């Protein structure tokens, strides 16, 4: 013990040598630096996660709005197609126009995004409208949508025009029109559905894109049809020189990119998506500052906390090195005391778990091992065997040969029983007085009986004299019990039952004449009475 303590002192003093302390200081600096760098890397990763999450949100919003826009355009186009079909089939008589007008009014009421429905003749004047009797002094012949259908005599496409103010109500509208022709394809006029910019801007405003975010509905020529937050100045403006139209849309119809807005120069994370079946593009954008605002606040707090921790760690580390340098002798004495206590604790632990006379495990160690092996048997669903031995006629042995010889007798019996420990998990123990135990994990009844018989035969082969026994030699009786615990069921009752069964089997062996082995399953059949 003294040598070990001296060695520990020398090792401690080696760490206290002056040439090692600079290395320790360097280590403290590296730890603090690695803490700061690791935190910086985590902050950067959090920024990337925030940007990826924002990209997914803007992309999903663009996808949802593109689908909603496509559905809205489809419904408006179906209404226009129905109006044109009624005009072509029913004609334009007064009664037919009145019926058509009522239909148009009902369609506008049922679809809140519709501002109005109109049918114009070849001169651009109203034939019928959802607003009632057409005025005589209003003509739409100068409108772009009317000119488009006049200039495209054979086209029958849905024309989506730039935002304009309604001459009827003064509201901003988006015109959707189709050419009306007779059976020979001759131009008869234009059917027009107008979308309410106020309604659409209110719908777009329900989506949260941050303080400086935006949502644009843009014609594929770059004309802005709608912007949220609502901006009247943006209506009809052209963004074709921006990065989305000048570069990204040429590569793919869907995408996400960080770009500076051409209007205000604000960096935004844009997601764009073309509207299926229509010359439209939905653009959603979240301002970079809005996306990273929460990240910046969290990062500032994290940097402050980690900076304080690194500073405190550095100060504490250098202070600790100073204490180490000043307290060599004290630390050496503490180390020597620790080693001595450790060695003493090891000796005490060994004494607490080992039988002093035989060197086998004592009863306390047996019970601890029994609990552990039972738990393992439950987990692995394997049998656990316990053999309980008793020295036959031991009281007579003591009376004849004396207690000193009795102690020597127990030591020799213990040596024979120890030979039954063939695996690391097997445990031989002195149970009390002249009783011994052998715990055999993963052993069935046949195997346990065989081991018990081998030990009994080994003691028999030694032929130790015992004048008080009928066969004039020392012998053993053994009781064997094996259990296979149910899954999830193990408690004090289980271990007690295992010991009790082995004890019953031992009693049966003694009752049957001693110097033999009995299994608990056979005990009641072979016990007299």
Mean pLDDT of the chain: 85
Confidence of residue 464 (pLDDT cuts 50, 70, 90): very high
Confidence of residue 330 (pLDDT cuts 50, 70, 90): low
pLDDT given at position 231: 86
Q: Which residue has the higher pLDDT, 209 or 347?
A: 209
Per-residue pLDDT at 10 exceeds 50: no
Mean per-residue pLDDT for 284-292? 89
Confidence of residue 7 (pLDDT cuts 50, 70, 90): very low
DSSP 223: B
Q: Return the minimum-mean-pLDDT range out of 14-18, 315-319, 494-498.
A: 14-18
Per-residue pLDDT at 297 exceeds 80: yes
pLDDT given at position 527: 37
Q: How far apart are CA 506 and CA 243, in angstroms?
A: 93
Four-way CATH pick for 200-290: 3.40.50.300, 3.40.50.11720, 3.90.950.20, 3.30.450.20: 3.30.450.20
Would the pTM of this model clear 0.75, i.e. be above it? no
pLDDT given at position 317: 77
Longest dimension (CA), the chain: 143
Q: Is 117 helix (H, G, I), strand (E, B) or coil?
A: strand
pLDDT given at position 60: 94
pLDDT (tens digit per residue) in 18-48: 566 777 778 888 888 888 899 889 989 988 9
Mean per-residue pLDDT for 72-89? 89
pLDDT given at position 6: 47
Mean per-residue pLDDT for 248-262? 89
Per-residue pLDDT at 365 exceeds 50: yes
Q: How far apart are CA 29 and CA 321, in angstroms?
A: 12
Q: How far apart are CA 201 and CA 22, in angstroms?
A: 68
The ranges assigned to domains in the chain are 200-290, 354-526
DSSP 232: G
Q: Is 461 helix (H, G, I), strand (E, B) or coil?
A: helix
Per-residue pLDDT at 443 exceeds 90: yes
pLDDT (tens digit per residue) in 210-254: 888 899 999 999 999 999 898 888 898 999 898 888 889 888 999
Mean per-residue pLDDT for 95-117? 90
Per-residue pLDDT at 526 exceeds 70: no
pLDDT given at position 490: 56
Element containing residue 248 per DSSP (H, E): none
pLDDT given at position 529: 32
Long-range (24+ apart) CB contacts under 8 A made by 426-431 are: 427/361, 427/365, 427/366, 427/369, 428/360, 428/361, 429/355, 429/360, 429/361, 429/362, 429/363, 429/365, 429/366, 429/369, 430/355, 430/357, 430/358, 430/360, 430/361, 430/362, 430/363, 431/363, 431/366, 431/388
Residue 174 sits at the vertex; the CA angle it makes with 168 and 177, to the nearest 5 degrees, is 90
- The fraction of the chain above a pLDDT of 70, given in percent, is 88
Residues 6 or more apart from 18 whose CB is under 8 A from it?
Answer: none
Confidence of residue 333 (pLDDT cuts 50, 70, 90): low
pLDDT (tens digit per residue) in 471-502: 999 999 999 999 987 776 555 578 889 999 99
Confidence of residue 90 (pLDDT cuts 50, 70, 90): confident
- 375 φψ region: left (φ > 0), alpha (ψ -120 to 50), beta (else): alpha
Per-residue pLDDT at 334 exceeds 80: no
Per-residue pLDDT at 1 exceeds 50: no
Q: How far apart are CA 19 and CA 42, in angstroms?
A: 36
pLDDT given at position 492: 58
pLDDT given at position 17: 55
**CATH domain 354-526 topology:** Alpha-Beta Plaits (3.30.70)
pLDDT (tens digit per residue) in 388-424: 999 999 999 999 999 999 999 999 999 999 999 999 9
Per-residue pLDDT at 135 exceeds 50: yes
Per-residue pLDDT at 4 exceeds 50: no
């Amino acid at each position: 013990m003294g040598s070990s303590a001296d060695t520990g002192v020398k090792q401690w003093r080696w760490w206290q040598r002056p040439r090692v302390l600079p290395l320790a200081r360097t280590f403290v600096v590296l730890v603090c630096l690695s803490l700061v760098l690791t935190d910086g890397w985590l902050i950067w990763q959090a920024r990337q996660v925030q940007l990826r999450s924002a990209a997914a949100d803007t992309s999903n919003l663009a996808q949802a709005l593109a689908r909603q826009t496509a559905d809205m355009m489809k419904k408006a186009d179906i209404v226009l197609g129905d109006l044109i079909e009624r005009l072509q089939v029913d004609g334009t008589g007064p009664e037919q126009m009145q019926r058509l007008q009522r239909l148009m009014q009902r369609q506008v009421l049922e679809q809140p995004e519709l501002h109005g429905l109109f049918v114009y003749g070849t001169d651009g004047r109203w034939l019928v409208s959802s607003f009632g009797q057409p005025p005589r002094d209003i003509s739409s012949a100068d409108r772009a949508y009317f000119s488009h259908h006049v200039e495209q005599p054979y086209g029958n496409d849905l024309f989506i025009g730039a935002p304009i103010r309604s001459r009827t109500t003064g509201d901003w509208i988006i015109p959707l029109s189709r050419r009306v022709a007779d059976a020979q394809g001759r131009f008869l006029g234009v059917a027009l559905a107008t979308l309410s910019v106020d309604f659409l801007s209110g719908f777009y405003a329900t989506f949260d894109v941050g303080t400086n975010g935006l949502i644009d509905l843009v014609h594929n020529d770059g004309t802005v049809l709608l912007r949220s937050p609502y901006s009247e100045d943006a209506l009809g403006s052209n963004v074709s020189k921006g990065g989305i139209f000048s570069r990204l849309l040429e590569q793919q119809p869907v995408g996400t990119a960080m770009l500076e807005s051409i209007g205000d120069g604000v960096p935004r994370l844009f997601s764009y998506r073309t509207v299926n079946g229509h010359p439209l593009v939905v653009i959603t954008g979240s301002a970079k500052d809005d996306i990273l605002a929460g990240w910046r606040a969290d990062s500032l707090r994290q940097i402050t906390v980690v900076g304080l921790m690194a500073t405190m760690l550095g100060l504490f580390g250098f202070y600790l090195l100073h204490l180490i340098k000043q307290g060599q002798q004290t630390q050496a004495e503490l180390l020597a005391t620790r080693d001595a206590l450790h060695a003493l604790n090891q000796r005490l632990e060994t004494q607490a778990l080992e039988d002093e006379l035989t060197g086998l495990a004592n009863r306390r160690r047996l019970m601890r091992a029994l609990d552990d092996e039972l738990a393992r048997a439950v987990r692995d669903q394997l049998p656990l065997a316990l053999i309980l031995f008793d020295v036959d006629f031991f009281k007579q042995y003591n009376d004849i040969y004396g207690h000193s010889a009795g102690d020597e007798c127990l030591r020799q019996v213990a040596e024979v029983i120890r030979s039954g420990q063939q695996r690391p998990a097997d445990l031989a123990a002195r149970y009390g007085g002249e009783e011994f135990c052998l715990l055999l994990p993963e052993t069935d009844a046949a195997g346990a009986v065989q081991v018990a018989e081998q030990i009994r035969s080994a003691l028999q082969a030694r032929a130790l004299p015992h004048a008080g026994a009928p066969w004039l030699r020392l012998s053993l009786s053994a009781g064997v019990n094996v259990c296979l615990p149910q899954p999830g069921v193990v408690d004090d009752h289980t271990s007690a039952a295992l010991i009790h069964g082995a004890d019953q089997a031992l009693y049966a062996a003694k009752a049957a004449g001693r110097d033999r082995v009995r299994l608990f399953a056979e005990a009641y059949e072979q016990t007299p009475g």
